[in-house]
A and B are shown apart, each in its own frame.
Chain A
Amino acid sequence: MFSSYIESILIFNGIHIIMALSLYLPFSAGQISLAQAGFMAIGAYASSVMTLFWGFPFYIALFLSGLLSAMTGVLVGFPAIRIKGIYLLLLTLAFGEMVRVFFLNFEFTGGASGMGGMDLQTNFVNVYTIVAILIIFFYRLSKSRMGRAFESMREDELAAEVMGINIVKAKLLAFGVGAFIAGLGGGLYAHYVMYIDSPKFGFLLAVEFFVFVVFGGMEIFWGPIIGTTLLTLIPEVVRFLKEWRMIFYGLVIVVLMIVRPQGLIDKKLVDDITRYAKKLF
């Protein structure tokens, strides 16, 4: 369909979209998380252990590693019930680093020398099928009771609780499902690059996902999708700028944050587009 160069950029883009959506889910409930790189690492390592050492079929391994990641997500969600704002940021950051250091020293998965030899299982079709499923999921969520609960929690947690929303359940769900999605992303990543080592899943990666979401906008799930796609493609398109391209990348983010602090895509924009589109047809 495309040249394999374009295809591989699109596959990385798809994996990044999955990761950005995994961050967006707790975000949409007002929970800021820098732990997504850690969940991704759990998914990547767990799925690789299952396919490589235990001979599980890829899709089963992918699903199970998502579940494992979700369980860890719920565990991280427990302290998050009482912790808010910048403290939560710190807690999730610390968790992400814990995961990284754990895999750095865990000999079973290769320790510092990493883990390789997985089969190539990830391709354009399965990555974007998962992206499509996630889009449907997030669309349905935004129209559902839980989605609206998330939204009210983001705006005002106390008011949401007074209105009768079960904050504990909602927070754990947001963290757990977010971690599940991140686990899927990790499994897909591991079976595309076919070699993983723990420095990859450090704090910088978590910040990268964070930037994707903030850049695209956190009001609606189209934000992280568009934001990720733009920020993944921009450095590739401006490759001719050589050493200056990362500066260009930074500049784009700075300008956007000044012009549109709410992110590129917000609810109003989506509503406007839908209205315009309805008028057209």
Chain B
Amino acid sequence: MKAQRFYRFVAVACIALLIAFASAIPAAEAGLKGKSVKVGVIVPLAGPAISWGQHSLLGAEIARDEINAAGGIGGIPLELIVEDTASKSDQAISLARKLAEQDKVLIILGPILSSACEMVFPVTNRMKIVAVSPTSAKPGVSAKNRPWAYRNNLTSDKTLGPALEKWVKDNNIKKAGIIYDSSDAVSTGEGAKVYPAFFKKFGVEIVDSLTVQKKDIDFSAHITRIKAKNPDGVALAAQAEQAANIVREMRRQGLNIPVITGVECANPLFIRTGKGDVEGVWTASASWAGNPDPKVKKFVTKFMKRKDGEKPNSGGFKSYDSIYIIKEIIEKYGVTNDPKDLSKDRDRLRNGWKNVKNFPGVSGLTTINEVGDGVSMPAILCVKSGQWVAAK
């Protein structure tokens, strides 16, 4: 009797599997329904976060143009529906609802700021639509909002870990000082949590931990105090301009010890502000615009042509890759783009994002980890003759 039931179960399971396959394969081959594949984009195009917004949007647009020039996805073009938050995080809540309900997009790329992610992810979770942030780096934000929240970006601890390890070893750091901007969310995360944790792990003694505030311009007292403690190196966490000015003050006071900065500094602004004084400073970044890999070079050239010679920041890289990941998922997981299947398609995209593994993009090989954050090999960079280059 038991065996009979078992066989019946096996038979039913086989038939179910067959039907599943039979329905999945033609859908993928027959092309997609509808006029276009709609992807919503939520970015700030005004206000303080404008450069992250513009770079992320342009990265996505370059990917869209490439895809559409090559025939689109499943025979129909990819369409980006862009909404601007003007750097007001709470606006993203209404915009996510608009994209999901009025525009009926399959998936949302964004938001950009971690504070906006904190507000939007609970909303998208309830509406059962995937939101992928290409930039948010605050640890723990996607973990709180399973299973619909994804961030195709390294959280700051994952970016900085390998760089810190190499920095400590190469420069033989035994005692380190920390200076961070306690009025900035990202910098505070790095200065108060990431640095102390890794220094403890690598056996580095923290001789002092000082805080600065945004808009501070005089750092002489901080540096004098750090100097008195005689550290082997200093770890900084602040926005690019401020961090560069802190380094300049160190050099002015003759404190010529190794410096490593947080992920906020991996851009040309840091070098422009710091001039010759930031020579030899280390940082880590989820992407590296100076990468000699031809695929990266091609993307960077295209980006610079459309952005008056400006190099993309990691937002540009990650949103370019995200659009290609979305394309791959749509093709692989049998998304139909039929308006009747909208909720099923959204679920297919969620399943697809969960299983992204070693996706080869311009920011390296991307894998989504169990809490929904993208993991790729971060670049370890240092300033050499006025350029960010790979640290050796």
Residues of chain A whose beta carbon lies under 8 Å from any beta carbon of chain B: 3-5, 7-9, 12, 101, 104-105, 111-114, 116-117, 120, 189, 192-195, 197, 199-200, 236, 239, 242-243, 246
Contacts of A243 in B (CB 8 A): 45-46, 84
With both beta carbons as reference points, the residue of chain B lying nearest to A243 in the complex is identified as B45
Would B97 and A195 count as touching, CB distance under 8 A?
no
The 9 A-B pairs with the shortest beta carbon distances in the complex, nearest first, are: A195-B118, A5-B97, A5-B98, A112-B188, A8-B94, A193-B119, A4-B97, A112-B185, A195-B119
Once the chains are docked, how many angstroms separate the CA of A28 from the CA of B91? 30
Contacts of A112 in B (CB 8 A): 182-185, 187-188
Would A117 and B144 count as touching, CB distance under 8 A?
yes
CB B223 to nearest CB in A, in angstroms, measures 22
Would A195 and B94 count as touching, CB distance under 8 A?
no
A-B contact pairs, 27 of them (CB 8 A): A4-B101, A5-B97, A7-B97, A8-B94, A8-B97, A12-B90, A104-B182, A104-B183, A105-B183, A112-B182, A112-B185, A112-B187, A113-B138, A113-B185, A113-B189, A114-B118, A117-B144, A193-B89, A194-B122, A195-B119, A197-B115, A197-B185, A199-B115, A200-B90, A242-B45, A243-B46, A243-B84
Once the chains are docked, how many angstroms separate the CA of A193 from the CA of B88? 12
Interface string of B59-94 (1 = CB under 8 A from A): 000000000000000000000000110100110011
Given contacts A3-B102, A12-B90, A236-B94, 12 further A-B contacts (CB under 8 A): A5-B94, A5-B101, A5-B102, A8-B94, A112-B182, A112-B183, A112-B184, A193-B89, A194-B122, A242-B84, A243-B46, A246-B86
Would B118 and A116 count as touching, CB distance under 8 A?
yes
CB A121 to nearest CB in B, in angstroms, measures 13
Contacts of A197 in B (CB 8 A): 115, 185
Contacts of A105 in B (CB 8 A): 182-183
Majority secondary structure, A binding face: helix
Would A193 and B93 count as touching, CB distance under 8 A?
yes
The A/B interface has a contact count, at CB < 8 Å, of 69
In the complex, which residues 80-138 of chain B have their Cβ closer than 8 Å to any Cβ of chain A?
83-84, 86, 89-90, 93-94, 97-98, 101-102, 115, 118-119, 122, 127, 138
Contacts of A111 in B (CB 8 A): 182, 188
Once the chains are docked, how many angstroms separate the CA of A160 from the CA of B140? 57
Task: Please tell me which one of the listed residues B83, B84, B101, B183 contacts residue A3 in the complex, with CB atoms under 8 A apart.
Answer: B101
With both beta carbons as reference points, the residue of chain A lying nearest to B97 in the complex is identified as A5
Task: Please tell me which one of the listed residues A101, A194, A236 contacts residue B119 in the complex, with CB atoms under 8 A apart.
Answer: A194
Would B185 and A12 count as touching, CB distance under 8 A?
no
With both beta carbons as reference points, the residue of chain A lying nearest to B187 in the complex is identified as A112
CB B56 to nearest CB in A, in angstroms, measures 16
Contacts of A189 in B (CB 8 A): 90
Once the chains are docked, how many angstroms separate the CA of A200 from the CA of B118? 13
Would A8 and B93 count as touching, CB distance under 8 A?
yes
Contacts of A4 in B (CB 8 A): 97, 101, 127
Interface string of B201-235 (1 = CB under 8 A from A): 00000000000000000000000000000000000
With both beta carbons as reference points, the residue of chain A lying nearest to B90 in the complex is identified as A193
Once the chains are docked, how many angstroms separate the CA of A193 from the CA of B95? 13
Would A113 and B93 count as touching, CB distance under 8 A?
no
Once the chains are docked, how many angstroms separate the CA of A195 from the CA of B111? 14
Contacts of B189 in A (CB 8 A): 113
With both beta carbons as reference points, the residue of chain B lying nearest to A245 in the complex is identified as B84
With both beta carbons as reference points, the residue of chain B lying nearest to A197 in the complex is identified as B115
Contacts of B89 in A (CB 8 A): 193, 200
Contacts of A242 in B (CB 8 A): 45, 84
Once the chains are docked, how many angstroms separate the CA of A194 from the CA of B183? 21
Contacts of A195 in B (CB 8 A): 115, 118-119
Task: Please tell me which one of the listed residues B97, B98, B144, B183 contacts residue A116 in the complex, with CB atoms under 8 A apart.
Answer: B144
CB A20 to nearest CB in B, in angstroms, measures 16
CB A246 to nearest CB in B, in angstroms, measures 6
CB A240 to nearest CB in B, in angstroms, measures 11
